Amino acid sequence: MLLQRYQIHGVGVEVQTSSDALSQLVHQCLFPYAVPALSRLDLKVELAEEKRDWLVPTRARRFLRYGALRAFALDGWRYFTDYLSYLVVEPAGGLIRGYIADETLREQGERFFLNLFFSLPLFEALRHHGLYFLHAAALRSPEQEGYLFVANAYSGKTSLTLALIRQGFRYLSDDTVFLRNSPQGLEVLSWARAFHVPSELSRVYPELAHLAARPESSPFHPKKEMAMEEFYPERHINRLLNPQWLFFPALTGEPVTRLEPLSSSQALPLLLPQSLAVMFDRGLAPEHLRALKLLLASARSFRLWSGTDIKSDPSRLQAVLQKARDPGAES
């Protein structure tokens, strides 16, 4: 077995794999967190290539269906499968084990493995260690204020993130962050990953022009994979504390971008689906919910109805967001 060690925001993770190919695939996902040694081991991951029978108990209930991935729960155990490969998260989040079949990588691709099949069980285990996944982009403004954009995929989070980076913002992520409760309030922590940028932005931003020659990173949507440090060095940060602004973006196709102020009670049902695991485990739910409530308490919330005006002129975005400072204003 091959052994690798990682430190994910203070959580010590040890990964054992049965082959170089699996080891390299996992490292592709976790390399920003690699360390030579761990002072404390919190989570073990054991991955093999030997295919076994599908081992989800018949009494387990399905709690997630996302593309080819299915997830089931029974008595604190979590089972993830595409009916070819299989991963199980043991109770208390101390061990993830299972096997990865060649057919999964051949039929679904490496991106499916990295972004779903491996990452979601890892995120579920990390919840036992106080890290709560949120589907969001996160940035810090030149005025040192924290901004979160919380939404489903293909809602414009990456385009919004790039537009703000070019206007002096620093970023945590364009897609995924962790929330953690702390004595100082709510921490927002980065999940380091490559960006998958809409191909059209290579024609909008001169510094991205040579992205046009790269292959599409998704067979379903025209996107280009890019390492942000390559284009915007020294802009990445790892942490925000008690962010001030929370936006729920959606693409409208309308000519003008609009803001719609939201109360905390209006924002909560928009926030919960983007941190869906909150209801997966009764024992973890109170602290997970506390993190979401702290976010709503620290930030002012808005719907961001993104129109074609900021698509054609991304520099307009910052002016739109500035209007959120006027409680009676709507752009």
pLDDT tens digits, one per residue of 75-126: 999 999 999 999 999 999 999 999 998 898 888 888 888 888 999 999 999 9
* Predicted confidence (pLDDT) at residue 329 exceeds the cutoff of 60: no
**Distance, CA of 142 to CA of 149 (rounded, Å):** 17
* Predicted confidence (pLDDT) at residue 311 exceeds the cutoff of 70: yes
pLDDT in tens, 187-222: 999 998 878 878 788 777 888 888 777 777 666 667
pLDDT of residue 123: 95
pLDDT of residue 218: 63
Q: What is the mean pLDDT of residues 291-305?
A: 97
Segments of the chain assigned to CATH 3.90.228.20:
132-192+236-325
Q: Is 204 helix (H, G, I), strand (E, B) or coil?
A: helix
pLDDT in tens, 232-259: 888 999 999 999 999 999 999 999 999 9
Strands (E), 2-120: 2-8, 11-17, 43-48, 61-66, 69-74, 77-81, 86-89, 95-99
Long-range own/partner contacts, residues 321-329 (CB < 8 A, 24 or more apart): 321/147, 321/245, 321/247, 323/259, 324/245, 324/259, 324/261, 324/300, 327/261, 329/259
**Distance, CA of 273 to CA of 275 (rounded, Å):** 5
Note the pTM of the prediction, 2 decimals: 0.92
pLDDT of residue 224: 77
pLDDT in tens, 148-187: 999 988 888 999 999 999 999 999 999 999 999 999 999 9
pLDDT band at 331 (very low <50, low <70, confident <90, very high): very low
Q: What is the mean pLDDT of residues 41-66?
A: 88
Q: Tell me the two tokens of residue 9.
A: 């925001």
CATH-assigned architecture of domain 132-192+236-325: Alpha-Beta Complex (3.90)
